[in-house]
Structure 1
Amino acid sequence: MFPETRAQMSEREKIVRAPELQEWIGLSRSTVWRLVKVGEFPAPIRLHGNAVAWREQDVNEWIKSRPLATTEQENGSDEQDNQKPAGG
């Protein structure tokens, strides 16, 4: 194998195996597979046999597509629920 230049290394597609993926995105293995099954998370690529990995770029795009959490969402409340009715 020949030494790669820095430019060639950055062009090379990076992949992430399941344990690293779980740590990175904070979801369990079963949740990741459930989301893949329903089309809400990128499908992995097959490396060999049962070995799979995810393209880093696909996961980054998924992360960017996620809505930002707000204080109201984190507390389980909605801003409208906290408003008092008029005249009361």
Structure 2
Amino acid sequence: MTASTHSQTSACRHVERIQLGNRLLRRRDVELKTGKSRSSIYKGVSDGTFPAPVPIGDNSVAWLEEEIDGWIAERLAQRNTTLKNTARPEARA
């Protein structure tokens, strides 16, 4: 096996671990999907409250759609927990 073949085989094995259908979203797509602005996205990445982008080129990044969907799901869960906790006292009254 040549070094080139070995390197290609290793790369293929690595790619196999990524779930099929897990798309890469460019920043504009992330903005549209989340409703967040560019600066808000990068602030969230910086402070660890938003998924980090994946480099896809020298000057290009993208986000894994699965991670963005997970972030949205977390927001919904927080909202639902908050609503459930605030609705309980009213339900008893």
Give the TM-score normalised by the residue count of structure 2: 0.61
Tell me the residue number matched to 1:74. Answer: none
Tell me the residue number matched to 1:29. Answer: 38
Q: Secondary structure at the match of 2:79?
A: coil
Structure 1 residue runs without a partner (length 5+): 1-9, 72-77, 80-88
Residue 66 of structure 2 is aligned to residue 57 of structure 1: yes
Query: Alignment partner for residue 68 of structure 1, among 60, 72, 79?
Result: 79
Deviation at 1:12, TM superposition (A): 3.6
Residue 26 of structure 2 is aligned to residue 17 of structure 1: yes
Aligned-pair identity (%): 31
* Alpha-carbon distance in structure 2 between the residues aligned to 1:20 and 1:11: 19
Deviation at 1:20, TM superposition (A): 1.0
Deviation at 1:46, TM superposition (A): 0.1
* Alpha-carbon distance in structure 1 between the residues aligned to 2:59 and 2:43: 17
Query: C-alpha deviations, 1:4-55, integer Å up to 9, x for none?
Result: xxxxxx8242110001110110010000000000000000000001100000
Which amino acid letter does the alignment assign opposite residue 38 of structure 2? R
Give the TM-score normalised by the residue count of structure 1: 0.64
Q: Runs in 1 of length 4+ with deviation above 2 angstroms?
A: none
Q: Secondary structure at the match of 1:52?
A: strand
* Alpha-carbon distance in structure 2 between the residues aligned to 1:25 and 1:33: 13
* Alpha-carbon distance in structure 2 between the residues aligned to 1:53 and 1:11: 16
